[in-house]
Structure 1
Amino acid sequence: MCRTAAHDHHHHHDHPLGGPEYADVGIPDDALSPADLGRRSFLRRVGLFGVGAAVAPVLGGLPAAATVRGGGSRGYQWLAGDHHIHTQYSYDAMYTIEQQVAGGAGHGLDWMVITDHGHAAHEKFAVESTYADVLASRGRHPDMLVWQGLELNVPGGEHATVFFDGARDEIGLLRVFERLFDSRVNGTGASSPANEAKALEALAWLDAALRSGAAGQALFLVNHVMRRGRYAPHELRAFRDAAPYIAIGMEGSPGAQNEIRARGDYNNTPDADSWPGWRQEHYPTYGGFDSAAAILGGMWDSMLAEGKGWWITSNSDGHFYDQDTLTRPAVPADWYDTHGRYPDPVDTGLPQRHADFWPGQFSRTVVGAASRDYGAVMEGLRAGRVWVGMGGLVEALHVNAHAPGNGQVTLGGRLTVRRGDDVTITVHAEPATRPNAAGQVPRLARIDLIRGAVTGAQADRDAATAADVRVVRSFEPRGHGPARFTYRFRDVREPFYVRLRGTDGNRHAPGSIEPAADTGQNDSPWGDLWFYANPIFVDVTGG
């Protein structure tokens, strides 16, 4: 996440490298520099030389690793993590990888993805060094799963997390992908049909990497969706529909929750690259959550109403941490451009006010994984077995759906029932029992069960609302122990989905139970805490 206009990725003329000659099949090997010849050799080795826009027509050749159809929540390990973290290898951050991993471990995380910004200097200097540091931290923290990923400047859009598993040459894939498709590197940042097509070409390339065996898994998650309104609804749908096993969802709540200007640093107004259909009410966060997820019947619900998975996550977007005494050493203005990293931070002894919290300190993404390993966490994310929480409001959450003759289905799953059956939803939430990082034991005041109708594919690809979405029941936990409740949908006739949210109850929109817009100065996010869970779909068969 960029903190200052000077580093705004929309200035797509910064460090453009032009089209990469090494990927052009019309240019002979002997016309390339040694560095580009090495990149071309890598593409040949993994079966990706010549793969680019031409692969788009066969995008989708892999089956969507779809939603798990059965299996209750108790059958999974629920692992907390963060997929959006910056280090000294980003042009606007400072921490070492080891400091980030140690910080995440200290705040109870099980998995982390290092996602430094795409940038010409990053591609040129930092990829191998990052990998070496990741390997060192894996050795020091054997219980932590640590990926090296990338925060991609998406062509025609904003940012997205990209990471791999089972890659034959992980750093080779990351470096070539960054050079080919990062908009800050290749000058494709402006909103235009051509640049939107370039973003789909990037997904096609990832698809080809999986089909060629160059990688076992790849994930693409859209970051801070409505920070500047750069993503049109049709772009989000295009990502999801082009590669549903790669482009799986979006940040439901962004990082920078302590930014004094506004939570998430969402204090923007539309600009020339914003989709014109967004209104000013879409630009702030609501209870710290992106409006795309937080507005009931809004963008997220309009996608879920199509009956397809599109999942939400949460993370730190960690750059500089509140009350930390470390600072980045003074260096010449061109230091990052010539090194691809900053020197290690130094201790001033003076706590600093910053926008971010450590990974796991405030926000976390909790994934239901079949086992504690890289592939299982990625599969859990892809399947939508995810809930996200703030400020330690909830320590554990189990949500299941079942019907006569069916086993239990949990978050991200699909329950198939006969028309006329009853569907029962069970929820077990374990509220906070210990102080969070603010020294408070938050109180879970209310849990809302939300139902949305599944109406099929949208004729209008830019639809951003869903009409038939409502809170069907609110529950107020009693006492300090686990909160358990059951709700039954009787005589089910049409397909629908259910999703869950909860709150400390401290702040709402006037006269409503909906979260309030975070407009005005953000003094502290700790008094307005929410959790959200991904949906369960209910499909209906029979007469």
Structure 2
Amino acid sequence: MSRRHLAWSLVVVAALSTALCAPTTDRAWLPGDSHIHSHWSAGADRRRTPPTPIKGQDALYSTPRNAVMARQFGLRWMVTTDHGGPDHAKLNFMQAHRELTLSRELVPDLLQFYGMELNMPGMDHHTLIIPNADDEATVLREIESRFDANQDWALPPDPGRRSAEARRRALAHLQSLERLPVLFANHPSRSATGIGKYGLDEPWEIRENNDLASDVYRGMEGAPGHQASTLSADGSRRPGPPRGPPPGRGAYRNPNAPTFGGFDQMTAKVGGFWDSLLGEGRRFWVVASSDSHVHYTDPVRRGSDFWPGEFHKTYVLARPTYDDVLDGLRQGRVFAA
């Protein structure tokens, strides 16, 4: 058996062994995607103060479009995870959430969580999933305003917003909320320089985060998105630049720190980081996502992504309710495929 197949088998076995110990009455395996961008992942025109958002600069599609495609590919739940940026908390609150409300009406058979891709202070991006409630927009606005590393538009940026202390304050706030969110590290080794030579996300930081917010900080992307980054629009292998290696799966561009069959090294390496966390008795899980921004066949702008559910799915053993799906993600009734 190859290392890749062995790693994948361990992912499935570990997830299933946890999930199958739980009561399964009226629960089913519900596929979903925890990392999806829309046109509210905006750019910023810094010629104005505060900067004016540039809708659709980073990702193209509306939330209803993403939801329709998610259902087309069999998903039962998804999370909107537009990234933060200069004054983005206002855009998220005033416009993105309004469109999400519309999308829930248009695609009622899909659970659509409100969340964001948090610019974690001192670390790489994280998926933040907010519990579904009447005050979800207000809850996220406060979190993003106070803790997203890129929310401030001052130049030069305030280094305090990107410090380890800011990260710790953010985790303390999340752990103190009445309704607890879930937080996952995204593409944790994308900034690595080699195997075991980590970048923005260090193993000690992930352990510390889990210690500080053990009910909230519950996992990472085992299989990151951007899995179509190696494909041309016709499905053939995308050529590399004139100088340098061709793009790697997951947009992991450093050939010394690639994914393993599409899985991040923190998950894929047998006896590696994720195995160590489980061996320590930590309740820490892995998910698979699309990180959808722009589809790889899009005629307007060449993308690196599959639609939500087209390639990766995260299955959660849950009833088809917001509360139980979120509980499944928190408790580890999941497997990634």
How does the TM-score come out when normalised to structure 2?
0.78
In the TM superposition, residue 169 of structure 1 has moved relative to its aligned partner by 1.8
Q: 2:116 aligns with which of 150, 153, 166?
A: 150
| Pair 1:286–1:154, CA change in 2 (3 A) | same
Asked if 1:265 corresponds to 2:251, the answer is yes
CA contact (8 A) 1:154 1:160 kept: yes
Asked if 1:207 corresponds to 2:175, the answer is yes
Asked if 1:77 corresponds to 2:28, the answer is yes
Asked if 1:291 corresponds to 2:259, the answer is no
CA contact (8 A) 1:127 1:175 kept: yes
Counterpart of 2:68, as a letter, is A
For 1:139-538, list aligned pairs within 5 A: 139-186=105-152, 187=157, 195-210=163-178, 216-228=179-191, 229-260=199-230, 261-268=247-254, 280=256, 283-325=257-299, 327=300, 353-369=302-318, 371-389=319-337
Distance in 1, matches of 2:26 and 2:280, equals 28
RMSD over aligned Cα, in angstroms? 2.1
Structure 2 unmatched runs, 5+: 1-17, 43-57, 192-198, 231-246
In the TM superposition, residue 128 of structure 1 has moved relative to its aligned partner by 2.2
Counterpart of 1:101, as a letter, is A
In the TM superposition, residue 167 of structure 1 has moved relative to its aligned partner by 4.0
CA contact (8 A) 2:30 2:316 kept: yes
How many residue pairs get aligned? The number is: 278
In the TM superposition, residue 319 of structure 1 has moved relative to its aligned partner by 0.3
| Pair 1:188–1:373, CA change in 2 (3 A) | farther
- Hey, what does 1:330 align to over in structure 2? none
Distance in 1, matches of 2:77 and 2:22, equals 23
Counterpart of 1:307, as a letter, is G
Counterpart of 2:321, as a letter, is D
CA contact (8 A) 1:166 1:217 kept: no
Superposed CA offset, 1:81-122 (max 9, x none): 001111111131111111111110111000010010111242
Counterpart of 2:30, as a letter, is L
Distance in 2, matches of 1:74 and 1:176, equals 37
Relative contact order (C-alpha < 8 Å, sep 6+): which is higher? 2
CA contact (8 A) 1:153 1:189 kept: no
- Hey, what does 1:36 align to over in structure 2? none
CA contact (8 A) 2:88 2:151 kept: no
In the TM superposition, residue 217 of structure 1 has moved relative to its aligned partner by 2.9
Counterpart of 1:206, as a letter, is L
- Hey, what does 2:4 align to over in structure 1? none
Superposed CA offset, 1:370-408 (max 9, x none): x1100000000111011111xxxxxxxxxxxxxxxxxxx
Superposed CA offset, 1:397-428 (max 9, x none): xxxxxxxxxxxxxxxxxxxxxxxxxxxxxxxx
In the TM superposition, residue 241 of structure 1 has moved relative to its aligned partner by 1.3
CA contact (8 A) 2:19 2:334 kept: no
Three-state SS of the structure 2 residue aligned to 1:88 is coil
CA contact (8 A) 1:116 1:150 kept: yes
Three-state SS of the structure 2 residue aligned to 1:237 is helix
Three-state SS of the structure 2 residue aligned to 1:160 is strand
CA contact (8 A) 1:157 1:189 kept: no
CA contact (8 A) 1:90 1:117 kept: yes
In the TM superposition, residue 68 of structure 1 has moved relative to its aligned partner by 7.7
For 1:111-126, list aligned pairs within 5 A: 111-126=77-92
Counterpart of 1:226, as a letter, is S
In the TM superposition, residue 188 of structure 1 has moved relative to its aligned partner by 6.3
| Pair 1:189–1:84, CA change in 2 (3 A) | farther
Distance in 1, matches of 2:276 and 2:158, equals 28
CA contact (8 A) 1:156 1:188 kept: no
Which has the larger share of helix? 2
Distance in 1, matches of 2:212 and 2:134, equals 24
In the TM superposition, residue 207 of structure 1 has moved relative to its aligned partner by 1.9
Asked if 1:88 corresponds to 2:39, the answer is yes
Counterpart of 1:252, as a letter, is G
Distance in 2, matches of 1:68 and 1:386, equals 7
In the TM superposition, residue 196 of structure 1 has moved relative to its aligned partner by 1.7
Counterpart of 2:32, as a letter, is G
- Hey, what does 2:53 align to over in structure 1? none
Counterpart of 2:291, as a letter, is D
In the TM superposition, residue 76 of structure 1 has moved relative to its aligned partner by 2.6
| Pair 1:189–1:96, CA change in 2 (3 A) | farther
- Hey, what does 1:336 align to over in structure 2? none
| Pair 1:289–1:83, CA change in 2 (3 A) | same
Identity rate, percent: 38
CA contact (8 A) 2:290 2:309 kept: yes
Distance in 2, matches of 1:312 and 1:209, equals 23
